[in-house]
Amino acid sequence: MAEAPQGVWIKDPMAILADNADAGLVVRDGRIVELVPAGKAPETPIASIFDASRHVVIPGLVNTHHHMFQTLTRAHPEAINKSLWPWIKALYPIWAKGMSPEAFRLASQLAMTELMMSGCTCASDHQYLFTAGLEGAMDIQAEEATRLGLRMTLTRGALDLMAGDGEQAVAPRSVIQRTDTILADCERILARYHDTSDGAMLQVALAPNALFDVSFELLTETARLSQQWNCGLHTHLVETAAEAAFVRAEHGCDAVDFLEKCGWLNERVWLAHAVHFDASEIARLGQHGVGICHCPTSNMVLASGTCPTHDLEAAGCKVGLGVDGSASNDNSNLMESLRHALMLGRLTYGAEAITHKDVLRWGTQGSAQCLGRHDIGTIAPGKQADLAMFTLDELRFSGASDPLAALVLCGAHRADRVMIKGRWTVEDGFPVGIDIEQLRHAHGAAAKSFLESM
């Protein structure tokens, strides 16, 4: 009989977000195989030891909503200091002229690298921009995620209504695709990339952009495909009060009723923002196990309102976190979003109601559940070895007594070590195999070229 492969002992962390693991954990073949209680040694045969005494260890963060292409238009002078509708009307003409596949690749690579450096091990990008020449956007993101070693839910967005097709539709013609073209590409990427196995590195979700710029046919057909392929469904919903009012005026019902009409009221669905639901809508979302992606940073930047996280979770919803677009955040740092979620939650519900453990849970287990994943998000035997490890060596942490609380309260923003599927992808604060100075230069040049070509 072949000898069992030996493990790596991540030993004696300063703190760890797991029970009965004060002496660390053992990783083997990409999985967590053992938690080691205080004062004990592993029972698993050990090949190597990583001294984690300087590190606070948490499950890898999971990002459930982003728009990576927007890294090319951060802090644009025509869009800053505006609420959502003026903001998006300022940027759509810029995005509509189209970006090259090379520029999109750099935008995605930079966003993924930023996320990973902040402690993120799994990401979903709501990619809805498919201008001429960018039809292969999902393939580009699959390639870049694979190259970086980042878990990814390829979230195929879509727009099939343009400005003039409805009261709220704002998308220019050049970003619109035919409904049949969208559905055909959804099936193509599902067949190529959707892996439902435990530990999958790539999965697929379908994501019509928002109720005001997609057709009823697209919503119902993506719901059918979701059931057929057992994949996630995602969209923006009631980010602003105007959107909630639009749904009532246009469809004669509230947003949750309309989701149900479209076949979108089930546990495979997760919604971005979810700011302006009333109490009855929250109760129905919870009854059906719908996931909610809270995007605290962009909601504050655009002054869209506050997601009722505490009420949604109490009702039975899965609550996760997202950085949202890099033109409304304007960064891709998920650890920073945890701190913002804490502060905004406390401002809404009180200092005692939302704790650092709540936002750590939202950014890990809650986000994983939104993406339909039960193999990541916690540190436990059998789970994938996806870990984020932070040091507390900076001045901002000096004097902190509770290391886990310090990550959130003192503002951790850069992981020292990241492990994905048992492989180190960040070491000493830098991504393995990525020249970040070269990436910054190439991305900056692409952004400048993109804006100058207008």
Extract long-range pairs of 93-97: CB within 8 Å, 24+ residues apart: 93/172, 94/451, 94/454, 95/69, 95/129, 95/131, 95/175, 96/131, 96/171, 96/172, 96/173, 96/174, 96/175, 97/131, 97/174, 97/453, 97/454
Bridge partners, 50 (sequence order): 10
Both tokens of 314, joined, read 């109490």
- Give the start-to-end residue ranges of the domains of the chain: 7-59+383-431, 62-370
CA distance 89 to 172: 10
Confidence label for 61 from pLDDT (cuts 50, 70 and 90): very high
CATH superfamily of 62-370: Metal-dependent hydrolases (3.20.20.140)
Position 168 pLDDT exceeds 60: no
Across the beta sheet with 318-321, what order do the strands follow?
61-63, 120-127, 151-158, 202-208, 232-237, 269-273, 291-294, 318-321
Confidence label for 94 from pLDDT (cuts 50, 70 and 90): very high
Q: What is the pLDDT of residues 99-139, one digit of tens each?
A: 999 999 999 999 999 999 999 999 999 999 999 999 999 99
| pLDDT for residue 173 | 86
In CATH, what number does 7-59+383-431 get?
2.30.40.10
Position 195 pLDDT exceeds 80: yes
CA distance 387 to 376: 10
Three-state secondary structure of 139-185: HHHHHHHHHHCCEEEEEEEECCCCCCCCCCCCCCHHHCCCHHHHHHH
